[in-house]
Homo-oligomer: A and B are copies of this chain.
Amino acid sequence: MSDTNLKSLALGTYTKLMRAAESATNRTSKVMTAAGLTISQFGVLEALYHKGPLCQRDIAAKILKSTGNITLVIDNLEKNGLVRRERDSEDRRFLTVHLTEAGTGLIAKVFADVEAAIVADLATLTAEEQETLGRLCKKLGLKGAA
């Protein structure tokens, strides 16, 4: 294949990948905003829901955002009564973030809805196609980790 064709193939593939990711994101984020959560807020609640109480640094690492950003997101979640901060008595630099009862109830429901949206979305592809897509995406994504 010529360089020109390789280039246009790569650019086309990239565009399609981006569009697919964007359209999938659109559908899941609709579920989140319908529940009054931003994408980041959902990410924080989901991390706490599946990993238990975490300090802000760990939350930032989990959802790939800066610690400064997490400060604000937790502020807003705290205002809405979904999480609470607790100063660690061992090492007073740490704030451990806990889900409140309201937070647990909300994320349980919204997470299930988001999962359902994803499953419905991916149902466009057969199981075999999903496996292939996953394998190729993984190969591509791995490069980023390096």
- A residues within 8 Å of B by Cβ? 1, 6-7, 9-14, 16-27, 64, 115, 118-119, 121-125, 127, 129-134, 136-141, 143-145
**Cα separation A12 to B137 with both chains bound (whole Å):** 11
Q: Please name the 9 residue pairs, one residue from A and one from B, whose CB atoms are nearest each other, closest first.
A: A23-B144, A21-B21, A20-B137, A10-B122, A19-B141, A16-B137, A20-B141, A13-B134, A20-B140
A13→B133 contact, CB < 8 A: yes
A144→B16 contact, CB < 8 A: no
Chain B residue with the shortest CB-CB distance to A116: B7
Q: Which of B25, B118, B121, B144 contacts A26 (CB 8 A)?
A: B144
Distance (whole angstroms) from the CB of A34 to the closest CB of chain B: 17
